[in-house]
A and B are shown apart, each in its own frame.
Chain A
Amino acid sequence: MHELALSQSIVDLVLERARAERLRTVTRVVVAVGAAAGVDAEALRFCWDVVVEETAARGAELLIAEVPLQARCRSCGHEFEPAVVLAPCPGCGRSGVELMRGRELRVTSFDAE
């Protein structure tokens, strides 16, 4: 359950930034999570409600924007959007592709007052 540690990192990061901007209440946080980031969105959301308790982000909504996969074939260089990490190249049929996008784990923005 590394989602608990990640939720804590999100709220720490946001609250630090909110304090720096002299904002008192955080109402919404937007994160970008790659489809291959190894993070379960539901688990993240579940943990979120726990870690924001007793903080200035209490009750804040966590908005998770999934980033789809983008891959490049190591054999022929073809770029495509695989449905799963291990999908073979639709161009040459070989497996062994390099992920170009889909590992993101990033706080994009937050709303606060």
Chain B
Amino acid sequence: MCDSCGCSALDRTIGVVHPHADTHVHDHGHSRPDPAGDMRTVRVEADLLAKNDRIAAANRGWFARGKLLVLNLVSSPGAGKTTLLERTLRDVAGAWPWAVIEGDQQTDNDARRIAACGVPVVQINTGTMCHLDAEMVADACGRLAPARGTVVVIENIGNLVCPALFDLGEAVRVVVASVTEGDDKPAKYPYMFETADLVVLNKCDLLPYVPFEVERFEASLYDVNPDAPVIAVSAIRGDGVPAWYRWLGDRRGVAAIGA
């Protein structure tokens, strides 16, 4: 029983207290189903992410049929997702067909940077939302209509928390971290790092100037996700990017076979 008002809200919860501000007005009564009235309890047992997961599964099927390699690129704001993408598109745009979905709360700044690389791009502005969901991606893919074998990069909202929850139907999830952040990021944001297929560690040209230790970062990542490889790069200078391109090439090969 709740200590504040004596209601039964705590009967079946563990460690969660429902709030009782001083202004709490008890106009709803916290009543059990009234046997005399029509009040009843309806069992639901429905997964809240089921709708998103259903659309994501449909996306995944559609991507597989088109032999598309679809990447969900996630990071905190400012880790260098767009810069990595610009570098990638300039270096290997001719190798495969590309398409990009840019997610930001506001502005089409990033879409314009990608369009300047000569690649088809759709900007999604989520307004107040902190993540892309599968439905937004389905809609953007419909507009992009990527040709068979296209590498589709979804640049998610810069946020290490919420995008972890929403499957978009992607084949691979790539987390971009940077050495100007703490080297304990994987420990602090385990949900994002544990689902990563690859971690790109960016801004490595700044390593001499920052207290970031790559080994500590890798150990922190290993605790959450022992399978994710790390590729260290400087997207702005181009160090290390060939390893990233090889990884992409391998993944595109897998998508083409339909494995």
Contacts and interface: CB of A to CB of B under 8 A. Distances in A.
Contacts of A111: 33, 39-42
B191 A110 contact: no
B19 A45 contact: yes
A38 B30 CA distance: 28
A113 B16 contact: no
B257 interface: no
B164 A38 contact: yes
A32 B226 CA distance: 29
Given A65-B14, A113-B38, A27 B31 contact: yes
- Chain A at the B interface: SS class: mixed
Contacts of B223: 86, 95-96
A112 B33 CA distance: 8
B165 A2 contact: yes
B42 A59 contact: no
Contacts, number: 121
Interface residues of B, number: 45
A66 B38 CA distance: 29
A109 B41 contact: yes
A85 B190 contact: yes
Contact of A42 (B19, B128, B164): B19
A37 B48 CA distance: 11
Of listed A5, A27, A28, residue having the most chain B CB within 10 A: A5
A4 B223 CA distance: 31
B226 to A, nearest CB: 5
B18 interface: yes
Contacts of B131: 2, 5
- Chain B at the A interface: SS class: loop
B172 interface: no
Nearest to B190: A85
Interface in A1-55: 1-2, 4-6, 9-10, 13-14, 17-18, 21, 23, 27-28, 30-31, 36-39, 41-42, 45
Contacts of A56: none
B42 A108 contact: no
A45 B30 CA distance: 16
Given A27-B28, A61-B28, A17 B44 contact: yes
B130 A1 contact: yes
Interface string A85-113: 11000000001100000000111111111
27 contacts: A1-B128, A1-B130, A2-B161, A5-B133, A10-B48, A17-B44, A30-B12, A36-B191, A45-B18, A61-B30, A63-B18, A64-B16, A85-B191, A86-B224, A95-B223, A96-B223, A96-B226, A105-B48, A106-B47, A107-B44, A107-B45, A108-B44, A109-B41, A110-B44, A113-B34, A113-B37, A113-B39
Given A5-B133, A109-B43, 12 more contacts: A18-B42, A36-B191, A38-B162, A45-B18, A59-B27, A63-B9, A64-B13, A66-B13, A86-B223, A96-B222, A106-B46, A111-B33
